[in-house]
Amino acid sequence: MENQFFVDSEHLSSEALEKKHRLENDPSFRKNHMEYMPGMEIIESDVCARVMAQMNSYDYSVYTADDVKAALEHNTCPIDDFKALLSPAAEPFLEQMAERARLETSKHFGNTVYLFTPLYIANYCENYCVYCGFNCYNNIKRMKLSMEQIEKEMKVIADSGMEEILILTGESRGHSNVEYIGEACKLARKYFRMVGLEIYPVNTDEYRYLHECGADYVTVFQETYDADKYEKLHLLGHKRVWPYRFDAQERALLGGMRGVAFSALLGLSDFRKDALASALHVYYLQRKYPHAEMSLSCPRLRPIINNDKINPLDVHEKQLCQVLCAYRIFLPFVGITVSSRESAEFRNGIVKIAATKVSAGVSTGIGDHESKYTGKETDDVQGDEQFEIDDNRSLDKMYKDIADEGLQPVLNDYLYV
C-alpha cells in the first residue's frame, strides 16, 4: 500500500528524482521495519518485550487524583505509581510533583548542574525520516569535516572552557564510517575529559572499538516507541529497523561503554506512552547493568518542514515539566538532560527541580564554531543545521546564570585512574 507520508515527486528537482528512484530500488526501501538487515547484530535480551508489554497495556485514563496522591506519599516509586504520575490526573499536582522531584534531585545530585556541548562533524544521511532536517531527500548543504577541521572546531570549543563534548553525525555509514568517528574520538581525547557519541546504531564490536578510541558514552534517540507510528515516519534506510535501534544501548554496554542515554522525541506519537517506555527502557537495563551510568533526555519536536505530513502532537511546557518530574521521582539516580530546543527561562527553572545536565554554546550546524564562538569571519564552507534551537547562550553566560540561581555548574568531575 502506498504510504501516505511519502514525499510528493512533483515537488522534487530532477537530481532529487534520480536519487529517489535509486533509493526506491534499494533493498531497504519500505522493508519490514521489524526485520533485521544483513550485518545487523541480534542480541538475546528480554528488555524490549518487557518495555513494550508495559507500554501497550498502559491506559492512563484510568488513573485518578487519589492514585496520584498515593504515589506522592510513597517513599519509593514503583511502576504503577510512575504511570499515575504521567497520567492527565497528575496535571493538577504539578507543584507537589516538582517539590518531590526537587528533593530527590538534591538528595542524589546536590546542587550541581553539568555542562556540555554538541559537535556535529557531518550531516550526510542515508535515511528518509520525514520529520528530520538531515533526511536524505532534503535539499540542504551537506558537509563532512576533515580531521583537520574537526580538530580546529574542538580547539575552539576547548578554548571556551568546555570539558565535555558530544560528537554527532548524520546517519550515513558511507560518509561517516566507524573508523572516521573513531579518529574523531581520538582527537577529542586531546581536548576533553568526557566524550559522548550520538551516531547511527552499530554492533557490539564497533561500540567496543569506539570506546577504545576514547568514547565514554552513547546516546540513541528511539524517536518513538510506537512501532506502528515509527514505520510511517521512517521510510528508508537502516534507521527503519525498529528493534535494532531499540537494542543499541545494550549493545553499547556490552561493548564496554561506561554510560548510555535514552530519549523519545516527544510529539511524534502519544507523549505519555513514549515517556513511559523511555523510562522503563532505562529501568530494566539499569537492573541488568547496575554498573552503568544512565541518563534521559526529553526533547520536544521542533517546527520543521514536514509537520503538515506528520501531524505532531503538541506537548506543552507544563506537560514537559510533568514528564521530567515523573522521571526524577521514578528514577532518582538517573541523569536528566534538557535540550537547547527549550527556552532559557524553562531550562533555568527545571535545573532547580529535576534536570542535572544542560548544553551550552550549542550549534547544530557543521563547521561553524569558530564564527559563532569568536565572531571571526571565516571562509570555511559550512553545513546546514539539523533543527532550530531556542537557548543559544554561550558557556560563560550559561555558567553565570546557573551560579546566579544558587547552583554549582560543573564542567567535569570524572577522574581517569
CB 305 within 8 A of CB 138: yes
| Domains in the chain, number | 1
On the 0-12 / 13-18 / 19+ scale of CB atoms within 10 A, 377 is exposed
Dihedral angle of Cα 5, 275, 340, 307, to the nearest 10 degrees: 20
Which stretch of DSSP H or E encloses residue 14?
helix 14-24
Q: What is the pTM of this model?
A: 0.90
CA distance 207 to 215: 9
Inform me whether the pLDDT recorded for 141 exceeds 80.
yes
Residues 251-270, buried b or exposed e (16+ Cβ, 10 A)?
A: bbbbbebbbbbbbbbbbbbb
**Residue 375, domain member (yes or no):** yes
**Residue 272, domain member (yes or no):** yes
Place of cell 553545513: 383
**pLDDT tens for each residue of 29-46:** 557 899 999 999 999 999
CA distance 219 to 237: 19
Which stretch of DSSP H or E encloses residue 169?
strand 164-169
**Residue 2, domain member (yes or no):** no
**Residue 15, domain member (yes or no):** yes
CB 200 within 8 A of CB 239: yes
Q: What is the DSSP letter of 366?
A: B
Cell digits for 223? 524517536
Task: Work out whether the CA dihedral 297, 371, 306, 239 comes out positive or negative.
Answer: negative
Quote the pLDDT of residue 7.
44
Res. 310 pLDDT band, cuts 50 70 90: low
Residue 61, helix vs strand vs coil? helix
Strand partners, 408: 112
Inform me whether the pLDDT recorded for 399 exceeds 50.
yes
Average pLDDT over the chain, rounded to an integer: 89
CATH of the domain at 251: 3.20.20.70
Task: Work out whether the CA dihedral 84, 86, 88, 92 comes out positive or negative.
Answer: positive
Compute CA 21 distance to the chain's CA centroid, rounded to the nearest angstrom: 31
**Residue 25, domain member (yes or no):** yes
Angle between helices 79-86 and 271-288 (to 10 degrees): 150
CA distance 323 to 87: 9
Quote the pLDDT of residue 10.
45
**Residue 4, domain member (yes or no):** no
Nearest-5° Cα angle at 114, 408 to 196? 165
- The two beta strands, 164-169 and 259-264, are unpaired
**Residue 169, domain member (yes or no):** yes
Res. 130 pLDDT band, cuts 50 70 90: confident
**pLDDT tens for each residue of 43-98:** 999 999 999 999 999 999 999 999 999 999 999 999 999 999 999 999 999 999 99
Q: Which residues contact 14 (CB under 8 A, 6 or more apart)?
A: none
**Residue 416, domain member (yes or no):** no
CA distance 109 to 111: 6
Quote the pLDDT of residue 401.
96
Identify the weakest region by mean pLDDT among 58-62, 138-142, 289-293, 318-322: 138-142
CA distance 302 to 229: 18
Place of cell 559563532: 372
Q: Which residues contact 53 (CB under 8 A, 6 or more apart)?
A: none
Q: Which residues contact 382 (CB under 8 A, 6 or more apart)?
A: 141, 143, 365, 366, 367, 368, 371
Which stretch of DSSP H or E encloses residue 113?
strand 112-122
Q: Which structural domain, as residue segments, surrounds residue 140?
A: 9-410
**pLDDT tens for each residue of 155-180:** 999 999 999 999 999 999 999 999 99
Go through the chain and tell me how many residues it has. Answer: 417
Task: Work out whether the CA dihedral 239, 244, 249, 252 comes out positive or negative.
Answer: negative
Cell digits for 329? 521521582
Inform me whether the pLDDT recorded for 333 exceeds 90.
yes
CA distance 23 to 125: 12
Which stretch of DSSP H or E encloses residue 82?
helix 79-86
